[in-house]
Amino acid sequence: MNEELAKYQEMAKAYLAKKERVNYYQTKSVYYESPDYSYLLAELSNDEVRQLKALKERYGEDFISHLSEVITDPDVISDMFFDEPVDIDLETIHHQYTFHLRTVNGEKVTSRSILVELSDDDYCRLLAWHLYDSHLVMNTLFYRDEELCRKIMRESMRYVSDGIVAMVDAPFVVTMDEALADADAIRKQNSLEKSVGYVGPLFF
């Protein structure tokens, strides 16, 4: 299975290389020391990244003090770093995706959106799992790749963040429509059949 997943990850990388997306870069603030909560994501164009890298080469760690030479809106800089920036990782590109949380309470089904940030490597890994199993949801991913699942959900599978961390008491299923669509596009490009993968227990 590892060999199959590696093949799917390469297909995902080739697909993403041609997909138009908004690039985000990780920033770190002194307000948060925990690795899980130490960063914000800043939306930067390719030109801004090029200029910021030049600032970093010129000023070293002090390049943050010269951000206004590249980013002219002071409110954007303030929002990016809570007014006390430390650094920006300009090498790793992140992207934002929308997941959908569907909960069941008796006959009532509710749905809400969850914004998730993933690196390209993690998203390729997620797409590989979708290619391995056409019916994949986050609940079953927990049993197949707990590390990736926890990265996506940031907390345990019982907690979901959408501004305020809320506990989900009712049975729920988390899907990601964009990943499902991307996986279908990759299947068509590579003439792959849909697969059911390994059918494991659902997580509620």
In this prediction, residues 80-86 reach a mean pLDDT of 59
Tell whether the model's pLDDT for residue 49 goes beyond 60: yes
**Structure tokens that stand for 164 in this block:** 């305020």
Cβ–Cβ < 8 Å for 26, 92:
yes
Residues 6+ apart with CB under 8 A from 61: 87
* 28 vs 124, more confident: 124
190 — pLDDT class (breaks 50, 70, 90): very high
Tell whether the model's pLDDT for residue 36 goes beyond 60: no
In the chain, what are the domain boundaries? 2-19+96-190, 24-94
39 — pLDDT class (breaks 50, 70, 90): low
Ranked by mean pLDDT, the top range of 47-51, 148-152, 194-198 is 47-51
Q: How far apart are CA 19 and CA 81, in angstroms?
A: 29
119 — pLDDT class (breaks 50, 70, 90): confident
pTM: 0.69
